[in-house]
Amino acid sequence: MTDLRSFVARVMNTLEAHRLKDDSGRYTRYLAQLESEPNDDDVYGTADAAIILYALNAMPTDSAEQKKWIHALQRHQVKETGVFAGKGHDDIHSTAFALSALELFEAKALYPLSRFSERMDKEALVSFLEGLDWRDQPWGESLKGAGIYASLVLSASVDEEWERAYFDWLRQNVDPITGLWRRSCVKNEDGSLVSAPIFHHIAGSFHYLFNLAHRKEPILYPERILDTCLSLYQSGELEVPVEPFSYFHIDWVYVILCCMRQNATYRREECEAAVKGTSQSFIAVLAQLGEDSEEPLDDLHSLCGAVCGLAAIQLLLPELIHTDKPLQLVLDRRPFL
């Protein structure tokens, strides 16, 4: 078991360093940005900070403090469009990300999401999903396909029938060979790839799995997804990033965790070995970062991905990580990341 309490302390120091000094409850994504533009924030900074605190089981409980967080997030919504504008991603992603952070405070958008009104129609939704690039860009496009669900559901913009249409489309279009999305876009019948690398389809499917989990919708082919993940890992072709801060581990581990929750016995030892094998160096690097310095880290968004990945690992293999409080998997509360 690796003691990560020093790393958690460094993360908490990082959050404090990223907080704007005007007592507004706002956070900047990049520490360097705070130094050059002390009054400028981005929706991702505050949203990332809230998600990190939730994962660390350290959310603010004071009602006045919570109101500051809510206002700090809501102020980024554009009244005329309903969009939460953020830097580095498109409008669907930034809106879904902001709304998923607001949900942690049991709050919603101030204004209707009029920019997305066309996609509130079930037929237009299907057309939107059909139009995504599932063959060549399944990972990047999944942020749109999953983000539109999170945006409209978390803002209470759509009803149960709309959700049913969304899940029906996913069910009809799952790939029966790999269990991933989308049918005829992942692998050919001879096992060769259609286009994008298999991990891109796994990471893309991650975004649809947390939407299914939000409404306790069953996964159609959990065993085939696990077969796909294990084949990639056991072949030695899975490329694990060397940088400590990314969304790799939350994508990878959450897919395995979701499928194991539906079938707890299927290739269980191999699944646990795959998570352990891909996580040990990641955990060791984070432990070293905690021991080396107390200096704040720069990018809250990549740090958010790493902390959420750590929470998923601890949930699946608690014997690997020691923290004062058990980490919380934010995707068990609401969709989108």
3-class SS string, 182-218: CCCCCECCCCCECCCCHHHHHHHHHHHHHHHHHCCCC
pLDDT (tens digit per residue) in 183-206: 999 999 888 999 999 999 999 999
Total-model pTM:
0.96
Structure tokens at 40: 């400028």
CB within 8 Å of 154: residues ≥ 6 apart: 96, 99, 100, 102, 103, 108, 334, 335, 336
Assigned token pair, 321: 């990580």
What CATH class does 2-332 carry? Answer: mainly alpha
Is 70 exceeded by the pLDDT of residue 52? Answer: yes
The answer to whether residues 129 and 75 touch, using CB atoms and an 8 Å cutoff, is no
- Token pair recorded at residue 7: 């790393």
For residue 193, report the phi and psi dihedrals to the nearest 5 degrees.
-75, 140
* Region class of 166: left (phi > 0), else alpha (psi between -120 and 50), else beta: alpha
3-state helix/strand/coil string of 92-156:
HHHHHHHHHHHHCCCCCCCCCCHHHHHHHCHHHHHHHHHCCCCCCCHHHHHHHHHHHHHHHHHCC
Residue 139, pLDDT above cutoff 70: yes
CB 26 within 8 A of CB 46: yes
Question: CA-CA-CA-CA torsion for 238, 173, 196, 214, nearest 10 degrees?
Answer: -50
Looking at residue 89, its pLDDT comes to: 82
pLDDT at 37 > cutoff 80: no
Residue-wise pLDDT for 291-336, tens only, equals 998 999 999 999 999 999 999 999 999 999 999 999 999 999 999 9
Residue 85's pLDDT is 87
Strand partners, 84: 77
Residue 197, phi then psi, degrees to nearest 5: -60, 150
- Domain spans of the chain, in order of start: 2-332
146-166: b (≥16 Cβ within 10 Å) or e: bbbbbbbbbbebbeeebbebb
> Which position has the token pair 């206002």?
71
Q: What tokens does 158 get? A: 């759509």
The answer to whether residue 87 scores a pLDDT higher than 70 is yes
Contact 181, 170 (CB under 8 A): yes
Query: By the 8 A CB rule, do 334 and 214 touch?
Result: yes
- Any idea which residue has 């016995």 for tokens? 265
User: Residue 34 has what DSSP assignment?
Assistant: H
SS3 3: strand
Return the higher-pLDDT residue of 110 and 33.
Answer: 110
